[in-house]
Every structure is written in C-alpha cells, then in structure tokens.
Amino acid sequence: AQSVAQPEDQVNVAEGNPLTVKCTYSVSGNPYLFWYVQYPNRGLQFLLKYITGDNLVKGSYGFEAEFNKSQTSFHLKKPSALVSDSALYFCAVRDRTGTASKLSFGTGTRLQVTL
Amino acid sequence: ETGVTQTPRHLVMGMTNKKSLKCEQHLGHNAMYWYKQSAKKPLELMFVYSLEERVENNSVPSRFSPECPNSSHLFLHLHTLQPEDSALYLCASSQDRGLWEQFFGPGTRLTVL
C-alpha cells in the first residue's frame, strides 16, 4: 500500500524567510510525487510534480521540492515566503504501475506566513 | 468557463432529503473523481470514472450514488445522509493514463442536519 505522511499540522514562517513543508512517502518501487495547495473556499491547485530526472523540481509561485530517495522524502521549499503563500498544502504519491486514479494524499500542512 | 466547476457551492440538507452534487470539467479529460475532505484527515477517494465507466468504488456507503453521463459531467446523488457525512466534497478530473496531475473543482460544502 502507498501512503504519505505530513508530520506537521502547521508551519509558521515570517515573510521573507525560507519555508519548508515536510513530506515522506511509502510506495512500492519508484514513486510519482505531487504537491497541491488549497486556499480558503477553493479546491486543490497543482503546484509541482516529480516524475523522473533531476531531484530538484521547480513549480508554480516560486515553489520547489527536492526528491530524496534514500530518505523517502519530498519536502516543499521556497526561498522567501510571502503572506499570500498562507494556505493548506498537500503532498500526494502514486506508484508507477497504477493509473492516475491511484493517488494517495497526506493530511495536509497549514502554512501561516506573518509579517 | 474553464477548469472544473461544481454546483452548488454550499448545501444544507436534512437526513431524509435527496439532493445531487454536480461537477463539470472543461479540460477534455477522460477521468473524473469524487473525493471527501474532512478536517485533519487525508482526502478520501470515493469514486473514479474513466471513459464514463466506474473503475473504483472505495467502500462508500450506498447512500452516495455517482453518475457519469458523459466524460464532461459527474454527479453525486445523496439520500438519507448522516451528520458525519458533513464535509467538503471535491470533484477532480485528469487524463486517465500517463503522468497527468488531477485538476480540482472548488468543492461543495455539505452540512447534514
């Protein structure tokens, strides 16, 4: 079975500081990994994905994530946080044998960026 | 309209009511999904349709009944719900095969009294 763990319910960061939202995964074989963001009263928006190749993936709004196979992690990062980045962030994983429907999400991490 | 739309955005219903949630995607995708989002829990995949055929039903109670009349529309029919069914119901779509991410609608906030 595949799963994702987001160990932090909430991350607090001051604007301008770097941010990290943690994600670890469990899957048979090599994973496909995704990050989504959810703003209040909105659905999930795709941020970025890791399929293969370079371990550092760049996505929307200046976010990036680093795939670390030995640590089974895919942490989301941004060099300089903005107040507008405050939202709920979800990590998701699927294995390489299934279809697009076989996507497992974490419980989400709320990012709070303050002035 | 573009993307994935859902109606209504908010719904309050009694336990004996029958209502339906509607989802429409304008992305040319061939797979559609219903998820349930509850606080502090992972997104729960409820149903998956690929090419208008149901391919997954994750042990969802029969009081939830999906319908996919074509590749652009997805419905979730609700009847005799319980208060614990109150949640945000999200619709998503994607290409079924390959490495395509899912695109989500804004959700329907359902409250069962």
Question: Residue A49 and residue B33: Cβ atoms within 8 Å?
Answer: no
With contact defined as beta carbons under 8 Å apart, do B96 and B27 qualify? no
Rounded Cα distance between B71 and B28, Å, is: 8
pLDDT per position as a tens digit, A74-105: 999 999 999 999 999 999 998 766 565 678 89
Question: Residue B104 and residue A45: Cβ atoms within 8 Å?
Answer: yes
Which residues in A1-115 belong to E strands, given as ranges?
3-5, 10-14, 19-21, 24-26, 31-38, 44-50, 56-58, 64-68, 73-78, 87-95, 104-105, 109-114
With contact defined as beta carbons under 8 Å apart, do A66 and A75 qualify? yes
Choose, out of A30, A44, A88, the residue to mutate when testing the contact with B (most B CBs < 10 Å): A44
pLDDT per position as a tens digit, B9-68: 999 998 888 999 999 999 999 999 999 999 878 889 899 888 777 777 778 999 999 999
